[in-house]
Amino acid sequence: MSLVRFFNLSEPVVPLFRDLGAALADEGHGVEFVVSRSSYRGGDDHLGTAVPNARVIATRGPRRQFETRVGRGLAMLAYWLGASWTILTARRPRVNVFLTQPPCFVGLGVRLAKLRRQPCIVVVMDVHPDELVSFNVLSASSLVARALDRLMRGALRKADRIIVIGRCMGDRIQAKGVRPQRVVVVPNWVDDKAILPVERSANHVRDALDWGDDFVLMYGGNVGYAQEFSTLIDVASRIDRHEGIRVAVVGDGSHASAVRAGMESASGGEYHPLLHEEFSLGEVLSAADAHFISLREECTGLGVPSKTYAAMAAGRPIVYEGSSEGEIHRTVTEHGIGAAIAPGDGDALLTTIRELAADKAAWRELCVRSREVVEAEYSAEMGVQRYLDQLRPWLGR
On whether the CB atoms of residues 328 and 338 are closer than 8 A, the answer is no
Q: Which residues, other chains included, contact 63 with Cβ-Cβ below 8 Å and sequence gap of 6+?
A: 37, 38, 42
pLDDT at 195: 94
Residues of the chain with CATH 3.40.50.2000: 3-189+380-395, 200-377
Say if CB 391 and CB 95 are below 8 A apart: yes
Q: Of 75, 286, 278, which Cα lies nearest the Cα of 195? A: 286
Q: Please, what's the b/e burial string for 8-34 (b: 16 or more CB within 10 A of its CB; e: otherwise)?
A: bbbebbbbbbbbbbbbbbeeebbbbbb
**What's at 317, amino acid-wise?**
P
Residue 46: the pLDDT is 56
What DSSP element (H or E) covers 324?
none
Alpha helices in 135-190 (DSSP H): 143-158, 167-174
Supply the DSSP string of 223-239, one letter for each residue.
-SSS---HHHHHHHHT-
- Per-residue three-class SS string for 56-72: EEEECCCCCCCCCHHHH
Amino acid 44: pLDDT: 42
H/E element, 346: helix 346-358
Distance, in Å, from the CA atom of 267 to the CA atom of 395, rounded to the nearest integer, reads 57
Low-confidence stretches of the chain (pLDDT < 50) are 12-13, 40-45
Give the list of residues 6+ apart from residue 318 with CB closer than 8 angstroms, or none.
290, 291, 293, 308, 311, 312, 328, 331, 332, 337, 338, 339, 370
CA distances from 299 to 212, 268, 327 (A): 36, 28, 12
Residue 71 CB coordination number (10 Å): 16
pLDDT at 212: 93
Greatest Cα pair distance in the chain: 67
Q: Is residue 285 a contact partner of residue 316, using CB atoms and an 8 Å limit?
A: yes
Q: Can you give the pLDDT at residue 172? A: 95
Sheet holding 245-252, edge to edge: 269-272, 245-252, 215-222, 290-294, 318-321, 338-341
Q: Which residues contact 93 (CB under 8 A, 6 or more apart)?
A: 2, 3, 4, 5, 30, 32, 118
Going from the C-alpha of 6 to that of each of 103, 150, 377, the distances in angstroms are: 15, 23, 25
- What is the spatial distance between Cα 312 and Cα 315, in angstroms, rounded to a whole number? 5
Fold category of 200-377 in CATH: Rossmann fold (3.40.50)
Rounded distance between C-alpha atoms, residue 59 and residue 294, angstroms: 34
Phi, psi (deg, nearest 5) at residue 3: -120, 135
**Rounded distance between C-alpha atoms, residue 109 and residue 106, angstroms:** 5
Question: Do 65 and 38 meet the contact criterion of CB atoms below 8 Å apart?
Answer: yes
Q: What is the pTM of this model?
A: 0.91
Spatial distance between the Cα atoms of 222 and 44, rounded to a whole number of angstroms = 22
Give the SS3 label for residue 82: helix
Residue pair 168/325 in contact (Cβ under 8 Å)? The answer is: yes
Cis amide linkage into residue 12, ω under 30° from 0: no
* Among the listed residues 289, 316, 126, the one whose alpha carbon sits nearest the alpha carbon of residue 213: 289
Which CATH code of 3.40.980.10, 2.30.40.10, 3.40.50.2000, 2.40.50.100 fits the domain covering 3-189+380-395? Answer: 3.40.50.2000
